[in-house]
């Protein structure tokens, strides 16, 4: 059985899209320590998921999970390690939400990585010994599926099954026009991906993370990114200066988190939020339909929640907006209901997704 985690991008929002900037992504499972679960048996090639109504032979590039199956098979055949066809069954933790209402914890990335890891396992290769190549195949598969060059932090978090410091690969390295060329695919796997850095870390012995979906809220990540990139196009110096200041503060926040200096974590998280909110204001001015990364209600919620004993720092993760809110907390924190009540007093309805931090 293969278990793949979800992710929460707590530090590095938007900066992760640019070369050379660090992002800090926290790997999470549910409270039963399950995430995307994959099992296999030998037989006809097949992918089955009752939750998503899948039961098909992955012989062409159509459904998301067919991409990692085909690419992984191509790679393993190229090194003489494909011996038997494999049937894979996928099961999603409730933490990822449903087919029609996702939580934002990275179910697509987890599913992609689960297929790759399971096929390695089925052919006698221990996935934990193959993390670099598994990450590359997973990244490549998702790029081929989505037809775009995202940052890849979600795939990397799932591949390494760990919280990570991540720097993206140079997007010019991948040629989308050749993405389905088998020889090109195999050649890309042999190369070092320029710019990509992945450093696993763990703070789970002494801290934890809370995540809440904001009910009735929705923010389009793609639309928000497009609006942020308009700032980059129109005022590049302003854009990169804010990202540099944000990233500097976030690196200090992680440093102090590892040192258990929670007051400093909060101080530098506040700084990072400030710089990102300045970028948000500029994006809103240029693109009026842009969802603020951190609305006044969320700011008020964070300010009040941080007064609760054991709450270290809070912020909207990922692209921000109306989807969710996350809090770093001390280990064994048990007052999440207080946060929900504060949110309710501000007109926000939260649903907690109980998580286990890796």
Judge whether residue 62 has pLDDT over 80.
Answer: yes
Question: Can you give the CATH number for the domain in which 353 is found?
Answer: 3.30.70.890
Instruction: Decide which of 169, 201, 233 is a domain's last residue.
Output: 201
Q: What is the pLDDT of residue 268?
A: 98
Same domain, 282 and 196: no
Residues 123-133 have a mean pLDDT of 97
Same domain, 277 and 148: no
What is residue 295's DSSP assignment? -
Same domain, 159 and 283: no
Which residue would you say has higher pLDDT here, 318 or 344? 344
Local confidence band at 202 (pLDDT 50, 70, 90 cut-offs): very high
CB 15 within 8 A of CB 22: yes
Question: Can you give the CATH number for the domain in which 162 is found?
Answer: 3.30.230.10
Residues 29-35 have a mean pLDDT of 94
CB 34 within 8 A of CB 114: no
Judge whether residue 52 has pLDDT over 90.
Answer: no
Judge whether residue 323 has pLDDT over 90.
Answer: no
Residues 7-23 have a mean pLDDT of 95
Local confidence band at 50 (pLDDT 50, 70, 90 cut-offs): confident
Residues 49-56 have a mean pLDDT of 89
Number of residues assigned to the chain: 358
Residues 85-108 have a mean pLDDT of 87
Same domain, 190 and 219: no
Local confidence band at 175 (pLDDT 50, 70, 90 cut-offs): very high
Residues 67-91 have a mean pLDDT of 97
For residues 201 and 187, what is the distance between their CA atoms, to the nearest angstrom?
Answer: 30
Long-range pairs, 307-316, Cβ under 8 A, ≥24: 308/335, 308/338, 308/339, 309/335, 310/335, 311/339, 312/207, 312/257, 312/262, 312/265, 312/266, 313/253, 313/262, 313/265, 313/266, 313/269, 313/270, 314/269, 315/10, 315/269, 315/272, 315/273
Judge whether residue 124 has pLDDT over 70.
Answer: yes
Q: What is the pLDDT of residue 220?
A: 78
Same domain, 172 and 314: no
Q: What are 329-351's pLDDT values in tens digits?
A: 999 999 999 999 999 999 999 99
Same domain, 228 and 158: no
Same domain, 211 and 133: no
Instruction: Decide which of 201, 225, 242 is a domain's last residue.
Output: 201
Q: What is the DSSP string of 105-122?
A: S-HHHHHHHHHHHHHHHH
- Cα distances (Å, whole numbers) of residue 334 to 141, 210, 308: 39, 10, 11
Judge whether residue 100 has pLDDT over 80.
Answer: no
Residues 169-195 have a mean pLDDT of 97
Helix, strand, coil in percent for the chain, rounding step 5: 45, 20, 35
Judge whether residue 4 has pLDDT over 80.
Answer: yes
Q: What is the pLDDT of residue 336?
A: 97
Same domain, 296 and 336: yes
Scan for tokens 């690196």, then name that residue. Answer: 251
% of the chain at pLDDT higher than 90: 89
CB 198 within 8 A of CB 264: no
Local confidence band at 314 (pLDDT 50, 70, 90 cut-offs): very high
Domain of residue 102, residue span: 2-201
Same domain, 134 and 214: no
For residues 212 and 303, what is the distance between their CA atoms, to the nearest angstrom?
Answer: 16
Same domain, 44 and 186: yes
Local confidence band at 99 (pLDDT 50, 70, 90 cut-offs): low
Where does the chain show beta strands of DSSP type E?
A: 2-4, 6-11, 23-30, 36-42, 46-49, 54-56, 86-92, 163-167, 197-201, 207-214, 311-315, 324-330, 350-352, 355-357
Local confidence band at 217 (pLDDT 50, 70, 90 cut-offs): confident
Q: What is the pLDDT of residue 216?
A: 83
Residues 138-142 have a mean pLDDT of 98
Q: Quote the mean pLDDT of the chain.
A: 95
Judge whether residue 98 has pLDDT over 80.
Answer: no
For residues 106 and 156, what is the distance between their CA atoms, to the nearest angstrom?
Answer: 11
Same domain, 185 and 139: yes
Instruction: Decide which of 135, 170, 201 is a domain's last residue.
Output: 201
Residues 121-136 have a mean pLDDT of 97
Judge whether residue 127 has pLDDT over 80.
Answer: yes
Same domain, 138 and 272: no
Nearest to 346 by CA among 309, 315, 302: 302
CB 278 within 8 A of CB 242: yes
Residues 250-256 have a mean pLDDT of 97
What's the structural domain count of the chain? 2
CB 207 within 8 A of CB 257: yes
Residues 280-287 have a mean pLDDT of 93
């Amino acid at each position: 059985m293969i278990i793949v985690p979800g992710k929460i991008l707590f530090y590095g929002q938007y900066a992760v899209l640019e070369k050379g900037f660090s992002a800090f992504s926290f790997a999470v499972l549910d409270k039963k320590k399950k995430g995307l679960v994959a099992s296999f048996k030998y037989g006809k090639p097949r992918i089955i998921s009752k939750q998503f109504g899948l039961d098909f032979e992955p012989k062409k590039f159509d459904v998301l999970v067919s991409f990692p199956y085909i690419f992984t098979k191509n790679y393993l055949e190229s090194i003489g390690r494909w011996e038997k066809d494999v049937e894979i069954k996928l099961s999603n933790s409730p933490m990822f939400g449903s087919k029609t209402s996702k939580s934002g914890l990275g179910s697509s990335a987890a599913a992609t990585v689960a297929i790759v890891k399971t096929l390695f396992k089925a052919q006698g290769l221990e996935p934990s010994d193959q993390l670099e190549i598994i990450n590359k195949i997973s990244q490549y598969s998702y790029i081929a599926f989505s037809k775009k060059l995202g940052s890849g932090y979600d795939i990397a978090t799932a591949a390494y099954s760990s919280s990570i410091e991540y720097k993206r690969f140079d997007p010019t390295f991948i040629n989308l026009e050749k993405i389905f060329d088998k020889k090109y695919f195999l050649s890309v796997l042999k190369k070092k991906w320029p710019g990509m850095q992945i450093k696993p870390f763990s703070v789970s012995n002494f801290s934890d993370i809370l995540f809440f979906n904001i009910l009735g809220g929705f923010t389009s990540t793609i639309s928000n990114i497009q609006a942020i990139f308009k700032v980059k196009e129109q005022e590049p110096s302003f854009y990169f200066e804010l990202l540099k200041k944000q990233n500097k503060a976030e690196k200090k926040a992680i440093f102090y988190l590892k040192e258990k200096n929670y007051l400093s974590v909060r101080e530098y998280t506040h700084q990072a939020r400030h710089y990102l909110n300045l970028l948000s204001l500029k994006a809103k001015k240029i693109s009026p339909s842009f969802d603020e990364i951190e609305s006044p209600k969320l700011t008020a919620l964070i300010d009040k929640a941080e007064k609760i004993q054991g709450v270290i720092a809070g912020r909207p993760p990922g692209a921000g907006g109306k989807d969710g809110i996350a809090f770093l907390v001390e280990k064994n924190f048990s007052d999440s209901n207080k946060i929900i009540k504060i949110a309710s007093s501000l007109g926000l309805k939260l649903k907690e997704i109980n998580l286990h931090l890796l």
